[in-house]
């Protein structure tokens, strides 16, 4: 029970700070869930990102997957509630005061700093996850091909991940 409440609180804080896209969650989630509390491993965290990507809807769905691993069905449901609650509160407030909020120097400049910092944070997370997932030549190859295909073609990342799963089944 204590674990579930702690987990929910982390998700509330993380989602309230997810500025500029779902991937902003990743550095915060990895620190709290993998490194600090050891509720899941780096490999499970990678699985969760993949699941968030191949399932329809936003990446946030990965939190339901992690929630189930930590605390069963109630963990999954509570994970989704905690992830969306801050969004609902903030968005409805902003919708009310949109015209005041839109041109607010405070909001714009705060977000500008955060968005730039997030690029660096994600870089650090990629290194940490790379220690787990890049173990030999084929995994390096898959990562590089994945990077090139997703960056420079219009192919959906969902297919890249499914394709990589098939490749993994063939190689190993």
Map tokens 């005041």 to a residue: 100
Using CB under 8 A as the binding rule, whether residue 6 contacts another protein is answered as: no
Using CB under 8 A as the binding rule, whether residue 43 contacts another protein is answered as: yes
Q: How many residues bind another protein (CB under 8 A)?
A: 113
Q: CA-to-CA distance for 53 and 56, rounded, in angstroms?
A: 8
DSSP assignments along 45-100, one per residue: HHHHHHHHHHSSS-GGGHHHHHHHHHHHHHHHHHHHHHHHHHHHHHHHHHHHTHHH
Task: Write out the two tokens for 161.
Answer: 């991940």
Give min distance, CB of 64 to another protein, in A.
4
CB of 5 or CB of 41, closer to another protein: 41
Residues 74-133 that bind another protein (CB under 8 A): 76-77, 80, 83-84, 86-88, 90-92, 94-95, 98, 101-102, 105-130, 132-133
Among 4, 6, 22, 37, binds another protein (CB under 8 A): 22
CB of 5 or CB of 17, closer to another protein: 17
Among 8, 33, 62, 78, binds another protein (CB under 8 A): 62
Chain-centre distance for alpha carbon 123: 14
Site mask for another protein (CB under 8 A), range 146-165, x = bound:
xxxxxx----xxx-xx-xxx
Q: CA-to-CA distance for 153 and 90, rounded, in angstroms?
A: 35
Phi, psi torsion values for 81, nearest 5 degrees:
-60, -45
Give min distance, CB of 58 to another protein, in A.
4
């Amino acid at each position: 029970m204590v674990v579930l409440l702690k987990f929910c609180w982390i998700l509330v804080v993380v989602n309230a700070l997810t500025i500029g896209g779902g991937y902003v969650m990743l550095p915060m989630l990895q620190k709290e869930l993998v490194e600090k509390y050891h509720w899941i491993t780096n490999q499970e965290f990678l699985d969760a990102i993949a699941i968030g990507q191949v399932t329809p809807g936003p990446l946030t769905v990965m939190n339901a997957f992690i929630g189930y691993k930590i605390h069963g069905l109630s963990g999954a449901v509570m994970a989704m509630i905690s992830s969306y609650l801050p969004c609902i509160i903030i968005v409805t407030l902003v919708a009310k005061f949109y015209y005041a909020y839109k041109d607010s120097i405070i909001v714009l400049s705060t977000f500008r700093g955060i968005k730039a910092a997030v690029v660096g944070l994600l870089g650090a997370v990629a290194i940490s996850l790379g220690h787990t997932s890049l173990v030999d030549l084929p995994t390096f190859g898959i990562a590089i091909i994945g990077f090139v295909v997703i960056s420079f073609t219009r192919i959906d990342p969902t297919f890249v991940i499914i394709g990589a799963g098939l490749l993994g089944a063939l190689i190993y």
